[in-house]
């Protein structure tokens, strides 16, 4: 692999010389600003060998560097070893920005021009990057040259998988109703129409699902909404007769994917909303309208609030997912004690058990199963080279999720495979405290995730511990496992948390080279009933709280009970009683006995 990367860099540099470019930037996205992309857009992985979901590779004629965030520091270090890439750790003091690094690297270069593929960056990102580069000795940016087309001979083609209807019993709202709401939101910002390019927004709006992207039930397309016309830009081969007639019923015109740019050049209405943080730069550049309304798309915020049908679907999916998880947990320890199990084996077993559940449609992300020191690698994915045999001791961290047609799941459990150290118990219990404290929280309607984030961290902070990733993200309803626009995290996210939103609760602690702990449930935001109205200068009328959707026991073996408050213990016992009550009826006698034990009061 190291030699392969060297060869690819050589080909790249030959092209850079030919085009008189000083450097090239490879990011991790696709023309739809996706977090997970179809293989065709995995150019950053192809050029660097680093396969994390987030990262940017930058190559000059004689140097190369890769920026990624704390989730991937350890994985990236491993994967870049032996290549000429220098690892740049984001948000760590002293790490230069891409522009700063390029400013130094290209100080004496012949060409001060940097290339990148404008279709894989949002318009806002390119505009910011251009500004930053200009300030570094006047570097310029060329965005209309996709170097991968020249050098990546075996580049995967556009995915052509079939698109499916998402029935109304799970979607809960018709496409017509959704389009009416979207048009109302557009009118509020005086927009005649919008270009939608976020794939999960399109799937949600149209009540359609695809399988173009690994783990994400979306399909590659653009949706152009005008005041009286809607056009879907998609490869027609992907549409079944049923979907075609469904789209016709909705008065939605179908045009080839490649023609979205042409349509934007021939836009017939006065103005159009283009979300600069969503639409890619190459497409945004083509818009011809009297006015471009540069505002956030209203669709993500609509999609984030789940309707009753979606909420019930999520609950049903969580129950089936919980059944599979309990069967797996029941199997796990004896299997490890019997020997021969590895991180990959137990992940496969979990996948198999999930796939036996009705409405299963695949994983929602690649399972992270990290044993002992691998648990400290936040987004670890076992490979045949790293795959570690499990022994009956220490901690196993498993973060996994599945797609069911009625909902998406995401759960992390850290499991004691045998004897633990005192430090492991203490860290486990502190993480659990943070996890529980957030679920116990009541908060005023309109609070943001940034305001709530410290509640999950406080028990860890008191012990001088912290984690650098977010505490929670939205989860789709048979859609992407990471959904915005709301989040619970340290960084400022202005979107308020609202009734009907899903959000994860996943504090963790990672002690490099030793072990990691994370505990994660998916929560649904609900209204607190029966809160009296008080005066407006003091109390607010409406408070929100969380309903726990995830149903799966939390390992009680590592807990140091003296570190938990009465309230925290009560929460855990009530949660376990609910898990038992809901899941036990679906188990055989042996599994049920195991679950009874696993959910017994502490």
Residues engaged in binding a second copy (CB under 8 A)? 70-71, 73-74, 89, 92, 376, 378, 440-444, 447, 450-455, 458, 460-462, 464-468, 490, 492, 494, 509-513, 516, 528, 531-532, 534-540, 543, 565
Asked whether 112 and 127 are in contact (CB, 8 A), the reply is no
Minimum CB distance to a second copy, residue 377 (Å): 8
* Residue 385: CB minimum distance to a second copy, A: 21
Smallest separation, CB 435 to a second copy (Å): 16
Closer Cβ to a second copy, 288 or 442, answer by number: 442
Nearer to a second copy (CB atom), residue 123 or residue 488: 488
401 alpha carbon, distance to own chain's centre: 11
Residue 487 near residue 449, CB atoms below 8 Å: yes
Nearest distance from C-beta of residue 2 to a second copy, angstroms = 25
Provide the minimum distance between the beta carbon of 71 and a second copy in the complex, in angstroms, as a whole number: 7
**Beta carbon of residue 247, minimum distance to a second copy (angstroms, whole number):** 37
User: Least Å distance between CB 329 and a second copy?
Assistant: 26
Structure tokens, 144: 């209309």
In the complex, minimum distance from the CB of residue 439 to a second copy, in angstroms, rounded to a whole number:
12
Q: Which residue's CB is nearer to a second copy, number 99 or number 215?
A: 99
Question: φ, ψ for residue 224 (rounded to 5)?
Answer: -110, 115
Q: State the number of CA atoms in the 13 A half-sphere of 43 facing the CB.
A: 27
Q: Output the 3-class SS for 372-383.
A: HHHHHCCCCCCC
DSSP states along 298-341? SHHHHHHB--HHHHHHHHHHHHHHHHHHHHHHHHHHHHHHHS--
Residue nearer to a second copy on the CB measure, 143 or 450 = 450
Q: Which is nearer to a second copy, 205 or 519 (CB)?
A: 519
Residues present in the chain in total: 602
State which residue, 214 or 514, has the beta carbon closest to a second copy.
Answer: 514
86: three-class secondary structure by DSSP? strand
Closest CA to 439 of 529, 507, 540: 507
CB of 457 to a second copy, least distance (A): 8
CB 160 within 8 A of CB 126: no
Name the phi and psi angles at 475, rounded to 5.
-130, 135
Q: What is the dihedral of CA 12, 15, 17, 20, to 10 degrees?
A: -120
**47-67 CB burial, b ≥16 within 10 A, e <16:** bbbbbbbbbbbbbbbebbbbb
Burial zone of 535 (CB within 10 Å; 0-12 exposed, 13-18 middle, 19+ buried): exposed
Closest to a second copy by CB, 57 or 455: 455
SS3 per residue for 311-322: HHHHHHHHHHHH
For a second copy, give the closer residue by CB, 239 or 490: 490
18/81 with CB nearer a second copy: 81
């Amino acid at each position: 692999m190291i030699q392969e990367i060297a060869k690819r860099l050589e080909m790249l540099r030959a092209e850079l010389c030919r085009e008189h470019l000083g450097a090239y930037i490879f990011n991790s996205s696709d023309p739809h600003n996706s977090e997970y992309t179809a293989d065709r857009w995995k150019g950053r992985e192809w050029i660097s060998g680093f396969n994390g979901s987030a990262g940017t590779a930058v190559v000059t004629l004689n140097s190369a560097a890769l920026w990624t965030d704390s989730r991937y520091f350890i994985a990236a270090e491993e994967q870049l070893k032996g290549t000429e890439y220098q690892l740049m750790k984001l948000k760590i003091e002293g790490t230069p920005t891409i522009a700063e690094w390029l400013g130094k690297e290209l100080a004496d270069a012949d060409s001060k021009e940097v290339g990148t593929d404008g279709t894989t960056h949002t318009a806002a990102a390119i505009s910011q990057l251009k500004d930053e580069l200009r300030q570094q000795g006047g570097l310029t940016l060329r965005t209309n040259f996709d170097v991968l087309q020249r050098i990546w001979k075996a580049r995967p083609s556009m995915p052509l998988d079939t698109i499916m209807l998402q029935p109304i019993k799970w979607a809960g709202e018709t496409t017509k109703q959704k389009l009416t709401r979207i048009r109302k939101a557009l009118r509020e910002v005086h927009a005649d129409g919008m270009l939608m390019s976020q794939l999960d927004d399109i799937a949600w709006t149209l009540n359609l699902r695809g399988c173009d992207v690994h783990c994400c039930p979306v399909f590659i397309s653009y949706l152009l909404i005008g005041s009286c016309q809607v056009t879907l830009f998609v490869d027609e081969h992907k549409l079944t007769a049923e979907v075609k007639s469904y789209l016709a019923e909705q008065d939605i015109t179908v045009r080839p994917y490649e023609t979205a740019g042409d349509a934007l050049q021939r836009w017939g209405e006065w103005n159009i909303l283009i979300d600069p943080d969503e639409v890619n730069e190459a497409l945004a550049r083509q818009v011809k309208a009297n006015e471009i309304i540069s505002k956030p798309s209203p669709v993500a915020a609509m999609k984030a609030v789940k309707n009753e049908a979606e909420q019930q679907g999520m609950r049903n999916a969580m129950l089936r997912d919980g059944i599979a998880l309990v069967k797996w947990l029941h199997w796990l320890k004896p299997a490890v004690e019997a020997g021969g199990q590895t991180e990959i084996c137990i992940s496969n077993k979990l996948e198999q058990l999930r796939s036996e559940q009705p409405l299963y449609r695949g994983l929602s992300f690649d399972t992270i199963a990290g044993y002992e020191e691998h648990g400290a690698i936040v987004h670890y994915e076992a490979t045949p080279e790293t795959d570690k045999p499990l022994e009956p001791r220490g901690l196993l961290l498993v973060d996994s999720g599945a797609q069911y047609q009625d909902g998406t799941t995401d759960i992390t459990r850290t499991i004691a495979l045998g004897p633990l150290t005192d430090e492991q118990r203490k860290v486990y219990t502190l993480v659990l405290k943070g996890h529980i404290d957030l679920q116990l929280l009541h908060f005023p309607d309109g609070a943001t995730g940034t305001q709530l984030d410290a509640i999950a961290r406080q028990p860890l902070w008191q012990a001088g511990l912290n984690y650098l990733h977010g505490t929670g993200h939205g989860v789709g309803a048979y859609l992407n496992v990471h959904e915005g626009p709301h989040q619970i995290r340290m960084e400022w996210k202005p979107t308020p948390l609202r009734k009907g939103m899903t959000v994860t609760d996943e504090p963790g602690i990672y002690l490099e080279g030793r072990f990691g702990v994370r505990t994660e449930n998916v929560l649904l935001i609900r209204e607190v009933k029966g809160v009296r109205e008080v005066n407006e200068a003091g109390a607010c009328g409406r408070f929100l709280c969380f309903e726990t959707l995830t149903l799966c026991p939390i390992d009680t073996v590592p807990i140091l009970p003296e570190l938990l408050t009465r309230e925290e213990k009560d929460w855990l016992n009530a949660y376990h009683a609910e898990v038992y009550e809901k899941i036990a009826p679906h188990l055989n006698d042996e599994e049920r006995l195991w679950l009874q034990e696993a959910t017994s009061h502490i």
